[in-house]
Structure 1
Amino acid sequence: IRMNAIDKFAGNGSVYLRSLATRGSGSELAACLPGAITACKAAGYDVVLVETSGIGQGDAAIVPFVDLTIYAMTPEYGAASQLEKIDMLDFADLVAINKCDRKGARDAFRDVRKQYQRNHELFATPVAEMPVFGTIASKFNDDGVTSLYHGILAALAERDLAKWNSKLPDNPDRFSSRHDFIVPTDRVQYLADIARGMRGYHQTTTQRAGAARERQQLLASRDILAHGGAPKSQLSRMEKLAADRDKAIGQDGVALLAAWPKMKAAYGGDEFVTKVRGKEIRSQLTSTTICGTAIPKVALPRYEDEGELLRWMMLENLPGHFPYTAGVFPFRREGEDPTRMFAGEGDPFRTNKRFKFVSRESPAKRLSTAFDSVTLYGNDPDLRPDIYGKVGNSGVSIATLDDMKVVYDGFDLCLPSTSVSMTINGPAPTILAMFLNTAMDQRLADFEADKGRKASEKEAAKLRAWVHENVRGTVQADILKEDQGQNTCLFSTEFSLKVMGDIQEYFVQNQVRNFYSVSISGYHIAEAGANPISQLAFTLANGFTYVESYLARGMKVDDFAPNLSFFLSAGMDPEYTVLGRVARRIWAVTMRDRYGAGERSQKLKYHTQTSGRSLHAQEFAFNDIRTTLQALVASYDNTNSLHTNAYDEAITTPSEESVRRAMAIQMIIGKEWGLAKNENPNQGSFIIEELTDLVEEAVLQEFERISDRGGVLGAMETGYQRGKIQDESLYYETLKHDGSYPIIGVNTFVNPAPPAENSTLELARSSEREKKSQLKRLAAFHKRNA
């Protein structure tokens, strides 16, 4: 990062940077350092800066080589007595304590100043005048860094080494005054609070269910006694006891039980009517098999015990009803399958062709865009060898607004039946801006074609506002997941989080209601090696971190929460069966009870992709079987959209043939598989309920472990999430290697004479023509817009 930052100054010869290897572990200095310093002085440079590698307590080898020494440290040095062992505090002319936004930084600043005063026997000098500076180098325009800069200038002038003046105001406190916490310090225990809240909700549910059971028993006993001619005083006593149980059940519990008969009757008819944003939606409640059996779209429980019924309604309930364990909508959308196929390869023209292929049978166009690594890292196509070979490989090359228009050509981006997902993180703000401008330009072009003239400024502004309100889709933009499990980070986490907040504020101001500003992704965490429980725990923890950070910016929860979406994987382990259920329940209860969010904000919506890590190159034809089972699990769990991987993805970018088979998996489940006619098949299963509770408790325990490390951001500072992902990945690979985790065709049921199938696969790569075309189109774009 530092090398890139000085690049614009290096061209005129005013700055020269060279990295020197120490070539050994015994010293922090390279043997050639004296010669390198002499060469820089001979070249006429005004100042030569030498930065050593990290040193221990007793290392001060740099001192004889320099005129001015600066010792950089952090607040985490242990007890104050450890400062006496640090040699550089005896020799340093200035001390910089960096990362002063961390806990205990003020105390460290005080202790280091006192230690410096003792070491240098400056007892007659006020401790406030010690050359010790508290900095936060990761923050732009940090006044602690500015104060250090002033200290360096003063020290250089004092030694007659350089006389420079600064236009920046000094900070007399010598300690960074800016502490813009992403999550305020008084809320840093948010995950532990959420875990406590969820357990409290379960405890309350158990208590209310017990009270409901007792009330039912009391009223039944009263009826029996009344039938037997018991005195009225006894009956009144029973009624009073039953009324007392109403208080324990609570008003909302009583209301749930009172509403159940009406709800049961509504689901017993032929048609169910719901309203979504003022629109009336009618859903058929049964479908008839070829045998004449009427299959209910939603099956109802048959509990007679009101305690069990209340417990079920508080922990499960019907799809579309709090806590949304079975699904956030009462019914699946008819005429729009959950299929959303991931695609992207070559140049925008080839990807556009693939989009049209995967959506040609669907009235709803649900597109999911994969970008090449050049785009993911925010670079333009280039002849540079490290870039050129990657242009258009494993994703589409998008460098300009022209490219964006080509890739979605032929799709009306503002139709209610069209939605676009874009899997990109570091450059997400730029790609999102390109996409929104593409949608706006489509509207302006339609206006011009319809009216025979260009829109006026007022008309254009109105059209752009309409696009904001109607465009549907998702941009991933999940920087926390990138830091934890994937790595396409272009900027610091703090800066990226601020940009995410800026985008969300833009969405709020422009009433962008149907587009998700972030897809909080567990899929990539799972692909990096996390097990399903860690995947879900990290993903939800990241989601709640975004909630806390947006609230800290002053946004209202119901303004931004509907713009949050999630992305989970579906794998082979049993916990995957209930990931969606657990996520929805934790999110709904927490958003309602902790954050006071409204109904729409309580509904966690997520996309599922079948596990890429579960695909294997050995006997890869078996991969379709794995994908089918994973898709079935996702379908039963009422995922909101689904991508099924192609069988050859373990080896190459999928072909049209393999993609067609992957799409057929979803179509066969949705249209041929009989049980899929029912939309809550998981409800009522003993193992599903048991797994749901087990996974939820495991997630809550992970919340507490993260909370103990200072929340998500504090845990990231120590690499907790990355370390756990790596450990779990190694554990899985070890079990796979020794055969204790059976994988058919890989370590079990191995074909003794495998066919040479791999040789028949064509490896998908971008062509030279496509790469050169992208370079030519980019140059033309720059020339046109210079």
Structure 2
Amino acid sequence: MLPGGSLQRVSTRASTGLDEILPASRARYLAEIVQEVHAYHAATQQQSAVARQIQQLASSAALLAQADRPTEDLEQLAQQLEVELTPENRSLLQAWPERVAKLTGPERATRESLSGTLVPKLSLPRFVDHGEQLRWLRSENLPGHFPFTAGVFPFKREGEDPARMFAGEGGAARTNRRFHLLAEGLPATRLSTAFDSVTLYGFDPAERPDIYGKIGNSGVSIATLDDMKVLYSGFDLCDPSTSVSMTINGPAPAVLAMFLNTAIDQRVEMFESEHGRTLTEDEQRELRAWVLSNLRGTVQADILKEDQGQNTCIFSTEFSLGLMADIAEWFVQHEVRNFYSVSISGYHIAEAGANPISQLAFTLANGFTYVESYLARGLAVDDFAPNLSFFFSNGMDPEYNVLGRVARRIWAVAMRECYGANERSQKLKYHVQTSGRSLHAQEMAFNDIRTTLQALCAINDNANSLHTNAYDEAVTTPTSESVRRALAIQMIITQEWGLSMCENSLQGSFIIEELTDLVEEAVLVELDRINSRGGVLGAMETGYQRGRIQDESMLYEHRKHDGSLPLIGVNTFLDPHPEPTQVVQELQRSEDSEKRDQIARLQQFKRTHAADRPAALEELRAAALRGDNLFEVLMDTVRHCSLGEITDTLFQVGGKYRRNV
């Protein structure tokens, strides 16, 4: 403050913390990615032309030799062109005949149909032209090979369907029962957890009117480590066939710490029960390290898409990004290799109204922003990139048929060419949930048809996991009956649908290949637009992403209401004798007894840990002020403190989220 009460002049017109997240030298990271992807495709065209010319010259020379005509000029020209072919591309062409022979030989992987037809698990192209071979190898290739357009693994995992069903309602015990229902009879346990809005905003269950009614509705209520243990009771969290996904963002660090402690304590209890004694300190350290290295699952923790397409940001953006980097750093230090530290999500962006191209562009841009943020933190790309995963919607638009193909190719090329990442880091793995926005309250039975088509797209595109929505989610939390039908949709596709015997059924389709190129270019154009606005964080400051989502949502609603976008049973093919009202037989809501029980459990937890709580919260606060890794501290804090107490403490040092206007 200057004399007279006037304020000091500042050199900038806006307050920003962007330089603390990304260095100024990396401001054009999205433009660099676009340039590298374009350069890669240009090189593909140039190198394919060279390969074709070399083959044509060799063929011409062979014909001349048969006629006893001179071939020296052709051979010399071919040798000159050979120099232009890069060693990598020469190796691709030389290795291709051997790969084909191996995949089509006597030991070829096939499945036999009822008619006795041996359907290949992988269908191969029959190109003779070397130019076409090289173009295909560089733009498509087989699943499991760069640029991973058709999939990141050579074959799908046997005995583990992609099913990962989303569930959460009431208290931890009720959701635990739903999990056991969903997992019953399946060879692999893949749980996906929905939390109630109280948990999503980091609050504790309470009798406050604005909280009480939301406890356990549209998700499970989790406030303490004890709740988390009940939630996953009866599941071996470290079993190789078990993986757990948690849809939580703002308070994700605390909830993740609860989950990791749950897995550790579960193994400790198993050891003590089996051996009849407590562990030594050395055994505890070894067991803890073993649990962390074997645990499989995902935490969403994507704060950028929360600002852009959803609203569960609770801390300031800068502080939240710092917490995400803390998790990534802690995962590297403790060698957590099979658990994804973030699920970079386009689903919520699509559900808010974005079209498939914007969904993919915004999501990839967010992913590259996390890469830049973690690199700025001092982490090595190959240490953290394998712990990144993605989450997309699948709707009815044609672009959804190639969404995974485009995402995998852009990510692989960018990670290799821009960041020098290794093969594991180049592989984009993603979960798909069928579109909730495409479900309608009118003619609800038709929703299963929409979901079936969307699931077919996801499975054909080699999505790594899949949730199929229940038909009644248009109006309520799904019932046990509707969830079972939704799960059956993808089981019928993977186990009954004949073409699922082939694992790369999209490859070779003219329309699929053309759509892939069209969507990829549209995504790159959008990345350029974001770059011109200062990158993802700069665009967020002006509300660019939210504005685009709103515009695209409005277009959908206009076309829905004027009938130019046909929706069967909604604006066309209407039932001539509709029922006066469509009654939902069973609305799923948490009961008062569950709400009261959850509050009572929280109070009991607080009484049990009353002596340790003040010191634990003070250490968390002090660690934040010192700039320590907060996730390291949270691993201890959650043993004594509730989610709401942790959130309140972090508000004091990290600030509350405020949307830019």
| TM-score, length basis structure 2 | 0.91
Q: How does 1:133-144 map to 2 (within 5 A)?
A: 136=15
Equivalent position of 1:415 in the other structure: 239
Equivalent position of 2:637 in the other structure: none
Structure 2 residue 77 is matched with structure 1 residue 241: yes
Amino acid at match of 1:197: E
SS at 1:295 equivalent: strand
Equivalent position of 1:269 in the other structure: 105
Contact 1:527 1:611 in 2 (8 A): yes
Equivalent position of 1:679 in the other structure: 503
Equivalent position of 1:526 in the other structure: 350
Aligned length: 610
* C-alpha deviation, 1:752, in angstroms: 2.4
Equivalent position of 1:211 in the other structure: 50
Q: How does 1:585-596 map to 2 (within 5 A)?
A: 585-596=409-420
Alignment partners' CA distance in 1, 2:310 and 2:37:
30
Structure 2 residue 492 is matched with structure 1 residue 668: yes
Equivalent position of 1:631 in the other structure: 455
Equivalent position of 1:145 in the other structure: none
Of 475, 494, 498, the match for 2:322? 498
Q: How does 1:317-716 map to 2 (within 5 A)?
A: 317-716=141-540
SS at 1:759 equivalent: coil
SS at 1:94 equivalent: coil
Alignment partners' CA distance in 2, 1:708 and 1:261:
45
Between Structure 1 and Structure 2, whose CA radius of gyration is higher? 1
Alignment partners' CA distance in 1, 2:592 and 2:237:
31
Of 35, 53, 59, the match for 1:196? 35
Alignment partners' CA distance in 2, 1:489 and 1:544:
20
SS at 1:770 equivalent: helix
Amino acid at match of 2:188: A
* C-alpha deviation, 1:271, in angstroms: 4.2
Alignment partners' CA distance in 2, 1:186 and 1:294:
56
Structure 2 residue 568 is matched with structure 1 residue 744: yes
Alignment partners' CA distance in 2, 1:270 and 1:504:
45
Q: Deviations over 1:285-305 (max 9, x none)?
A: 101111111100000001111
SS at 2:571 equivalent: coil
* C-alpha deviation, 1:92, in angstroms: 6.4
Alignment partners' CA distance in 2, 1:249 and 1:559:
33
Equivalent position of 1:4 in the other structure: none
More helix by share: 2
Q: Deviations over 1:224-255 (max 9, x none)?
A: 00000013xxx232222212222222111110
**CA separation of 1:561/1:271 partners in 2, compared to 1, >3 Å: closer, same or farther?**
farther
Contact 1:207 1:248 in 2 (8 A): no
Structure 2 residue 6 is matched with structure 1 residue 93: yes
SS at 1:259 equivalent: helix
SS at 2:301 equivalent: coil
Contact 1:400 1:781 in 2 (8 A): yes
Alignment partners' CA distance in 2, 1:620 and 1:505:
46
* C-alpha deviation, 1:93, in angstroms: 1.7
Equivalent position of 1:150 in the other structure: none
Q: Deviations over 1:78-112 (max 9, x none)?
A: xxxxxxxxxxxxx9622464xx7xxxx2xx6xxxx
Amino acid at match of 2:421: A
Alignment partners' CA distance in 2, 1:345 and 1:562:
31
Equivalent position of 1:220 in the other structure: 59
Q: Deviations over 1:395-431 (max 9, x none)?
A: 0000000110001000000111000000000000000
Range moving further from structure 2, 537-546 or 750-759: 750-759
Range moving further from structure 2, 401-410 or 747-756: 747-756
Equivalent position of 2:657 in the other structure: none
Alignment partners' CA distance in 2, 1:756 and 1:412:
49
SS at 1:559 equivalent: helix
Question: Deviating runs (4+, > 6 A) in structure 1?
Answer: none
Q: How does 1:55-204 map to 2 (within 5 A)?
A: 93-95=6-8, 97=10, 105=12, 136=15, 180-204=19-43
Alignment partners' CA distance in 2, 1:699 and 1:211:
29
Alignment partners' CA distance in 2, 1:307 and 1:413:
49
* C-alpha deviation, 1:673, in angstroms: 0.3
Contact 1:327 1:581 in 2 (8 A): yes
* C-alpha deviation, 1:758, in angstroms: 2.9
**CA separation of 1:509/1:348 partners in 2, compared to 1, >3 Å: closer, same or farther?**
same
Alignment partners' CA distance in 2, 1:733 and 1:244:
59
| Identical-pair percentage | 67
Contact 1:213 1:305 in 2 (8 A): yes
Of 122, 125, 133, the match for 1:298? 122
SS at 2:583 equivalent: helix
**CA separation of 1:473/1:756 partners in 2, compared to 1, >3 Å: closer, same or farther?**
farther
Contact 1:270 1:286 in 2 (8 A): no
Alignment partners' CA distance in 2, 1:551 and 1:756:
59
**CA separation of 1:270/1:771 partners in 2, compared to 1, >3 Å: closer, same or farther?**
farther
Give RMSD over aligned pairs: 1.5
Structure with the greater relative contact order (CA < 8 A, sep ≥ 6): 1 or 2? 2
Contact 1:520 1:564 in 2 (8 A): yes
Q: Deviations over 1:518-567 (max 9, x none)?
A: 00000000001000000000000000000011111111000000000000
Structure 2 residues without counterparts, runs of 5 or longer: 611-661
SS at 1:764 equivalent: coil
**CA separation of 1:780/1:747 partners in 2, compared to 1, >3 Å: closer, same or farther?**
same
**CA separation of 1:192/1:352 partners in 2, compared to 1, >3 Å: closer, same or farther?**
same
Amino acid at match of 1:626: R
Alignment partners' CA distance in 1, 2:19 and 2:559:
45
* C-alpha deviation, 1:180, in angstroms: 4.5
Alignment partners' CA distance in 2, 1:551 and 1:474:
21
Structure 2 residue 623 is matched with structure 1 residue 784: no
Alignment partners' CA distance in 1, 2:206 and 2:481:
32
Amino acid at match of 1:717: E
* C-alpha deviation, 1:757, in angstroms: 6.7
Equivalent position of 2:622 in the other structure: none
